[in-house]
Structure 1
Amino acid sequence: MATYDRLLTPLTVGATVLPNRMVMGAMHTRLETLDRPHERLAAFYAARAAGEIGLILSGGFAPNPEGVMEAGGPLFNRAEQCAEHRVVTRAVHDAGGKIVLQILHAGRYAKVPECVGPSAAKARINAYAPRALSTQEVRATVADFANTAALAVQAGYDGVEIMGSEGYLINEFTAAATNQRDDEYGGSFAGRIRFALDIVRAVRATIGREPMLIYRVSSIDLVEGGMSGAEIAAFAKEIEAAGADLINTGVGWHESAVPTIAACVPRAAWRDAIRNVKEAVSIPVMASNRINTPEVAQALIDSGVADLVSMARPLLADPDFAKKTRLGIADEINTCIGCNQACLDRIFTERTATCLVNPRAGREIEFAAGKALQRKRIAVVGGGPAGMACAVNAAEHGHAVTLFEAGARLGGQLNLAKAVPGKAEFHEMLRYFEVRLKKLGVTLRLGRPATADEVAGAGFDEIVIATGVTPRMPDIAGIDHPKVVSYIDVLTGNVEAGERVAIIGAGGIGFDVAVYLLGDARESLDRGAFFRAWGVDLAKTSEGGLARLDSHGAPRRRVHMFQRKAEPLGKGLGKSTGWILKASLRKAGVTMTSGATYKAIDDEGLHYRVDGKPHVLAVDHVVLCAGQLSNRTLYDELIARGARPLLTGGADVAAELDALRAIDHATRLAMTM
């Protein structure tokens, strides 16, 4: 059994002793936009405190109205707001935890017409252009940070974190590309970092020595005109001298053309950039980004990269991450798979955050704790994501569960997903379910399809059908031609696609198939391969940490993607990851055709029309990714016998392979039985 002594060792930060080196990083949740917001936030953070995380960093609160992330976003600048914050801090402290308030001024990223910045340059990810702050307004903003810090301490927070990373206002001041000022807050390196240093000094003077003062610095900007590694190290030294107790490290800007936290980024990929900060200062340094297991976290500390590790999404996935680490049951951690579907993608589309692998995240007050009043015998048919989630949650609720799976192994569509380059983390999801099913004593029946007689005649109190989907066969002449294969054939390796491939359907599955055919699995597993693919240069003299992209050789296949809809391909992909897929496929020379009408498939290839004009594409294979149909054969048989089975997952809704919807629905269904 692995032990994590260094990870579990207490650490003194300023005047505060943290019980371990694991920190819940700050993240936007938008829980404040729902009903009972403070109750929700209190329950959300208290669950992580009860899970023994060493320190919690809150989501960002703006110090003044123009600094909010969006209209109505979190703002903390008045004494009368302290009472609502005490609901949160009291809940965390009662659960045995510590919590710090993050102060975040969004700068030119603020999605409000009144947004401001060091200069008037508009961010490409915002519809609004900022107004440049005057010198007096800069000084007033410094005072606003100090005011919010004082209020935070008054409200019971154990300190504050100054958000100086990810391209927000302070980071905009430190980078030459976004700071075109000619006053004392611009020009030279000393001028560009003055705003940050003034804030740290003002906050320290205001809150005194007892509360923690954390500064989040960009360890690598990943934008043209960003700071070099040498400048970042020098800046970190100045931040320490100004009064910070701890430096947290961020990676990249939100407008960076380099992925920083998605699953395609290798675990702990940014360790050398973080080490650059660590070697420059004597105060503790915290690592962040793509740290999702105790092994990775411990390795960062053991190797001297950092003193603590910040994990945001992993604490969405499992609030008991730290507790399970201490208990030596790390294999039971519900690991963050870096998919971003339920957290960042929802935040960027103005919805509240939750987690694909843990639907309870952010919804703690909606799920009743404890066991069911009556213990039932439950059959779950189908061992994909929905079936496994239903079985685990029903067993945790106190029921006796039997899980039937026709295949020789559990996983269903997860076994396809984990084969796609950049999706290796799906192995962790499958491992979690397998471990929990065994620990909970769920009876497994693998290797043959369950029959209606077998299920209906066994005296189960409830029967849940989670038999998934079957690929939809579009009505195209020649659909049975030998060139035509299903995405299942390709992703299972049963068919080795030829050099020329057409993909019919450009939803998530179509893009997964294209990445499978063209992608390099090493990129998400090896830092060197990832950096070469995305143009990252960790040399201390590199401006913004960027390198010139090498020209790629000829791709090993020519892939063409088609869809019927007359709109850009990939429009329905995740907001935070879709651009990564599209950029990768563009580099690989994929052609994308929308508004296509498929006429036939024959020895010549794929016959189709666009804008009424006929085309023939010579291909070796046509891969069908044209949707799915619910597999309800067993369900229909049971209904015919007078049984009352329940549906979940793809068997319930098959519009798209959607593990997020499937796991959420299956979890909620289990809690009703």
Structure 2
Amino acid sequence: MSFPRLLSPLHIRSIRLPNRMIMGSMHLGFESAADGFARLAAFYAERARGGIGLMVTGGVAPTPEGSFGPDGTVLADEHGVADHRMITQAVHAEGGRILMQILHCGRYSKHRELVAPSAVKAPISPFTPREMSEADILATIEAYGRTARLAVAAGYDGVEVMASEGYLINEFMAPRTNKRTDGWGGDLAGRLRFLREITRKVRAALGDKLILSVRLSMVDLVEDGLTAEEVVAAARAVEAEGCDLLNSGIGWHEARIPTIAHTVPQGAWTWATARVKAAVGIPVAASNRIKSPDMAEALLARGEADLVSMARPLLADPDFAVKVGDGRAEVINACIGCNQGCLDPIFSGGSATCLVNPRAGRESRFRSSPTKASKRIAVIGGGPAGMSCALEAGRRGHAVTLFEAGPELGGQFLLARRVPGKEEYQATPRHYAFELAAAGVELRLGREVGVEDLDGFDQYVLATGITPRALNLPGADHPMVVGYDEVLSGRKAVGERVAILGCGGIGFDVALALLGETEPFDAAWGIDRSFAHPGGLRPAAPPPSPPRRIVMMQRKPDRPGAGLGKTTGWIHKAVLQRRGVEMLSGVTYLLIDDKGVHLSLNNARHVVEADTVVVCIGQESRRILLPDLAALGKPVHLIGGARESARLDALAAFEEGTRLGLAL
């Protein structure tokens, strides 16, 4: 497929963008580290080298109270300019272009000094903000101008004003959070005044040559959010004040509707961007769940946007744009929307990387260099750890043979593709298969390897993964008892009444798979594309009758799913609850017989009637070959599930394999 629109250049002010691909703003979590700016410089330089048309940094606060938290990034005086210049110089040396995003968190700040237009506490924050006085408001507008001038001094190609997703400017715009009765609230003109004044101030600070982007919420997805007409009015207001580019934001962080997780259909929000594009004369960028060049080209062709903003796809593959330009789009390392390496760590106080690309965020640390002495290396196991180790070792010049008992690469990772919403996961083993071939790694698939197959190698990497933990309970050998791997692989049929033992990630995946195809997204989550009501919301449609009665249970007294991903776990729980899945905590399993699972709960005996009992109680490392390999007297490395089986963790497995491959 060709991509004439995606690859067409665009001039904005004095700056020429070579294509229509933007890397959208994303907080990376290492901004405040001792080497944070050096890491940022390496991160953005690699993506500039990869051909992306324009990048936007993570949010930089104009004032301390507007920062993410006590260690948030602030640019309020000249002392920070030199740090930021490290980023711009690195990007410009690679021929790239980059904007600095100015972001005041408002009531989303994670410290006690937070401020907002009104003293309305956010449901996702422990603190109630202080209502800003008029003096506070005027000082904040001046601070935006000052930070924009500092961004110019640091060498940025412009700035982006963050006015979406429930942060301070968005809080002024929406009746949900702006209860003021003075000139900064009330009617739409009053609620948009803060946005207009900031846009005007920043435009003046940038001068005539640099880019001013405004990230505007195209649909708020919260009660008392903006109406469709108000969103358009906001877009026209910033256009009138000198905005050059509108970037799309979708939803507020407190919205109870998923916007970017793998459960969200690709391109789910382009309708909201298209509505705004039709109303303004400046370029508009679409965002959220646009991960393939085919989709990007199609939406540009339909006239729904002028550019496409992607963040996580550029974590997964920094060479995304250059591969599109070189006609190699099919070898892009696709983002799978899992959030496990990027957003989950960020919202838990960590730093971002990428499950399918462990080098993301570690560019200066994960450096690959040719080996000085090529070795013959056997990697046993073609799951995440084995694939990533074999790839890095092969790229460095080792003679690598990768053994996998299954007919294809992927290991336990392949089970995810049977879970509705996770079909994209199958793209990762496909990508690794291509890259392994390009690196000269020999693949031997389709049969269990024995020690007799491993003669003549210099080193061994045991990446044989895990085996599901067996159930130790009277009746564990009953014909109705099956393993999660047997269900997700389709090897065992499942009845109409299902008991799932275990409420971790695997248990949730099994329940989702047994419910079958997902509901239409808009109907299930109450999204109104006609935008007839503020926030773009409507009542969710009644759920369809579930194909099975499912009861999940766990021994732990914690809430079921407590260990799921920070940004996706709540989605899975909401789906299962909507579909009538029952969840029990603090149970004691007693036995299994023809009736089902006998258990004790709250000191009373119960029977969960079942036709099928699915065991999801953990894993054990699979190390069958370890004694024989150790006896050969050659170095043996244990990685992934074969080393640590506490939980299935593809993020750790990909990273561990990459580290070892770079070190062998």
Question: What TM bracket, shorter-length normalisation?
Answer: over 0.9
Secondary structure class of the residue paired with 2:325: helix
Kindly report which structure 2 residues correspond to 1:123-138, keeping only aligned pairs within 5 A, or say none: 123-138=122-137
Kindly report which structure 2 residues correspond to 1:207-286, keeping only aligned pairs within 5 A, or say none: 207-286=206-285
Q: Is the 8 A contact 1:108 1:129 kept in 2?
A: yes
Percentage of pairs with the same residue: 53
Secondary structure class of the residue paired with 2:28: coil
The Cα of 1:234 is off from its aligned counterpart by 2.0
The Cα of 1:447 is off from its aligned counterpart by 1.1
The Cα of 1:519 is off from its aligned counterpart by 4.5
1:339 — aligned with what? 338
| Aligned mates of 2:397, 2:7 — CA distance in 1 | 32
> Which region of structure 1 is more displaced relative to structure 2, 396-405 or 50-59?
396-405
Q: Is the 8 A contact 1:135 1:183 kept in 2?
A: no
User: Does the alignment pair 1:533 with 2:524?
Assistant: yes
1:474 — aligned with what? 471
Kindly report which structure 2 residues correspond to 1:321-400, keeping only aligned pairs within 5 A, or say none: 321-400=320-399
2:533 — aligned with what? 542
CA offsets 1:56-104 (integer angstroms, 9 cap, x no match): 1001000001101111101011012111111111111111111100000
1:604 — aligned with what? 595
Q: Identify unmatched segments of 5+ residues in structure 1.
A: 524-528
| Aligned mates of 1:60, 1:366 — CA distance in 2 | 24
The Cα of 1:440 is off from its aligned counterpart by 2.2
1:192 — aligned with what? 191
1:407 — aligned with what? 406
Secondary structure class of the residue paired with 1:206: helix
| Aligned mates of 2:48, 2:208 — CA distance in 1 | 24
The Cα of 1:383 is off from its aligned counterpart by 1.2
Q: Identify unmatched segments of 5+ residues in structure 2.
A: none
| Aligned mates of 1:46, 1:519 — CA distance in 2 | 43
| Aligned mates of 2:424, 2:123 — CA distance in 1 | 31
CA offsets 1:468-497 (integer angstroms, 9 cap, x no match): 111001211110001101001111112221
| Aligned mates of 2:517, 2:233 — CA distance in 1 | 37
Structure 1 letter corresponding to 2:86: V
> Which region of structure 1 is more displaced relative to structure 2, 111-120 or 638-647?
638-647
Structure 2 letter corresponding to 1:191: G
The Cα of 1:20 is off from its aligned counterpart by 0.9
Secondary structure class of the residue paired with 1:43: helix
CA offsets 1:358-409 (integer angstroms, 9 cap, x no match): 1111111112233112222211111111111111111112222111111112
Q: Is the 8 A contact 1:566 1:595 kept in 2?
A: yes
Structure 1 letter corresponding to 2:623: R
User: Does the alignment pair 1:640 with 2:631?
Assistant: yes
> Which region of structure 1 is more displaced relative to structure 2, 621-630 or 132-141?
132-141
Structure 2 letter corresponding to 1:595: G
User: Does the alignment pair 1:506 with 2:503?
Assistant: yes
Secondary structure class of the residue paired with 1:286: strand
Secondary structure class of the residue paired with 1:601: strand
The Cα of 1:611 is off from its aligned counterpart by 2.8
The Cα of 1:542 is off from its aligned counterpart by 2.3
Q: Is the 8 A contact 1:376 1:462 kept in 2?
A: yes
Q: Is the 8 A contact 2:84 2:154 kept in 1?
A: yes
Kindly report which structure 2 residues correspond to 1:583-622, keeping only aligned pairs within 5 A, or say none: 583-622=574-613
Structure 2 letter corresponding to 1:621: T
Secondary structure class of the residue paired with 1:573: coil
CA offsets 1:390-430 (integer angstroms, 9 cap, x no match): 11111112222111111112211122111101101102112
> Which region of structure 1 is more displaced relative to structure 2, 599-608 or 363-372?
363-372
> Which region of structure 1 is more displaced relative to structure 2, 641-650 or 426-435?
641-650
1:494 — aligned with what? 491
The normalised TM-score by structure 1 is 0.97
2:104 — aligned with what? 105
1:115 — aligned with what? 114
| Aligned mates of 1:462, 1:10 — CA distance in 2 | 50
1:575 — aligned with what? 566
| Aligned mates of 2:377, 2:324 — CA distance in 1 | 31
Q: Is the 8 A contact 1:229 1:538 kept in 2?
A: no
| Aligned mates of 1:185, 1:497 — CA distance in 2 | 60
The Cα of 1:438 is off from its aligned counterpart by 2.2
2:551 — aligned with what? 560
| Aligned mates of 2:626, 2:537 — CA distance in 1 | 55
Task: Number of aligned residue pairs: give it.
Answer: 664
Structure 2 letter corresponding to 1:169: L
CA offsets 1:273-294 (integer angstroms, 9 cap, x no match): 0101110111100111011111
User: Does the alignment pair 1:672 with 2:663?
Assistant: yes
Q: Is the 8 A contact 1:387 1:403 kept in 2?
A: yes
Question: Alignment partner for residue 457 of structure 2, among 457, 460, 470?
Answer: 460
1:624 — aligned with what? 615
CA offsets 1:555-583 (integer angstroms, 9 cap, x no match): 11111111111111111101000000010
Q: Is the 8 A contact 1:331 1:435 kept in 2?
A: no
Flag the 1:43–1:209 CA change in 2: closer, same or farther, 3 A: same
Structure 2 letter corresponding to 1:180: K
Kindly report which structure 2 residues correspond to 1:80-99, keeping only aligned pairs within 5 A, or say none: 80-99=79-98
Secondary structure class of the residue paired with 1:126: coil
| Aligned mates of 1:410, 1:94 — CA distance in 2 | 38
| Aligned mates of 2:32, 2:203 — CA distance in 1 | 31
| Aligned mates of 2:440, 2:25 — CA distance in 1 | 36
| Aligned mates of 1:68, 1:568 — CA distance in 2 | 32
Secondary structure class of the residue paired with 1:364: coil
Structure 1 letter corresponding to 2:404: E
| Aligned mates of 2:635, 2:126 — CA distance in 1 | 52
What is the alpha-carbon root mean square deviation over aligned residues?
A: 1.2
Q: Is the 8 A contact 2:368 2:662 kept in 1?
A: no
Q: Is the 8 A contact 1:230 1:540 kept in 2?
A: no
| Aligned mates of 1:334, 1:214 — CA distance in 2 | 28
| Aligned mates of 2:206, 2:3 — CA distance in 1 | 34
CA offsets 1:170-192 (integer angstroms, 9 cap, x no match): 11111111111101111111111
Kindly report which structure 2 residues correspond to 1:133-144, keeping only aligned pairs within 5 A, or say none: 133-144=132-143
2:308 — aligned with what? 309
Q: Is the 8 A contact 1:59 1:102 kept in 2?
A: yes
The Cα of 1:335 is off from its aligned counterpart by 1.0
1:652 — aligned with what? 643
Q: Is the 8 A contact 2:458 2:635 kept in 1?
A: no
The Cα of 1:640 is off from its aligned counterpart by 3.4
Q: Is the 8 A contact 2:459 2:634 kept in 1?
A: no
Structure 1 letter corresponding to 2:659: R
| Aligned mates of 2:308, 2:257 — CA distance in 1 | 22
1:526 — aligned with what? none
